Amino acid sequence: MTRRLRNIVRRPDKSADPPDEDAPRDGPRKRGGAVRSVLAVLLGVALGLGLFTFGYADGASYLGDDPATCANCHVMKENYNSYLKSSHGKVATCNDCHTPHNLVGKYVTKAQNGFSHSLAFTTQRFPDEIQITKRSLKVTEGTCLSCHKDVVTGIQATRSHDQKISCVECHRTVGHM
């Protein structure tokens, strides 16, 4: 074969091709991998700490309805003991009064309360006397109205239509003497 014919048959040199605009460059690919690695490590550490804390604090016990679980914190002991002596201590659990009566609402409330309680006890920033939050008060009022709707309907009939009934306003010590 002649030299000229070899040049025609020979494949073109790839380095002579113009760069593809859509092809990833080495720099960002390396940085992207490092960022993903750091994020994976951080996620792993957070997940590991969360699982350790959940196990150490016996987190599974908080998924149930046993009122004794609520007394794990020293601030709740007095409330728990008074609950046991109250009329509600014989017929209701803490969840019956302090969580909504639907599955999703119950566990969303437990998760929110669990996080805020854990944060308060971990940082040691909690009041000596338990203070109910606005959201928890709304939930508790809702459960009172749900369980005692026959009584509440009679009371509501004696009031103006726009006057809101607050069970806790008059019966603050019913659940916790």
What's the pLDDT score for residue 139? 93
Write the burial class of residue 94 (CB in 10 Å: 0-12 exposed, 13-18 middle, 19+ buried).
buried
The C-alpha R_g of the chain, in whole angstroms, comes to 32
Is CATH 1.10.3820.10 the right assignment for the domain spanning 66-170?
yes
How is residue 151 written in tokens? 């009584």
Q: Report whether pLDDT(24) > 70.
A: no
Q: Report whether pLDDT(1) > 80.
A: no
State pLDDT tens for residues 87-139: 898 899 999 999 999 999 999 998 898 888 878 877 888 777 778 889 999 99
Is residue 100 within 8 A of residue 142, CB to CB? The reply is yes
Confidence label for 169 from pLDDT (cuts 50, 70 and 90): confident
Is residue 115 within 8 A of residue 104, CB to CB? The reply is no
Domain residue extents for the chain: 25-56, 66-170
Contacts of 35 (CB under 8 A, 6+ apart): none
More confidently predicted of 177 and 146: 146
Confidence label for 42 from pLDDT (cuts 50, 70 and 90): very high
The whole-model pTM stands at 0.64
- Mutual angle of helices 134-147 and 149-157, in 10-degree steps: 100
Cα–Cα distance for residue pair 75/161, rounded to 1 Å = 39
Mean pLDDT value across residues 69-82: 82
Average pLDDT over the chain reads: 81
What's the pLDDT score for residue 11? 56
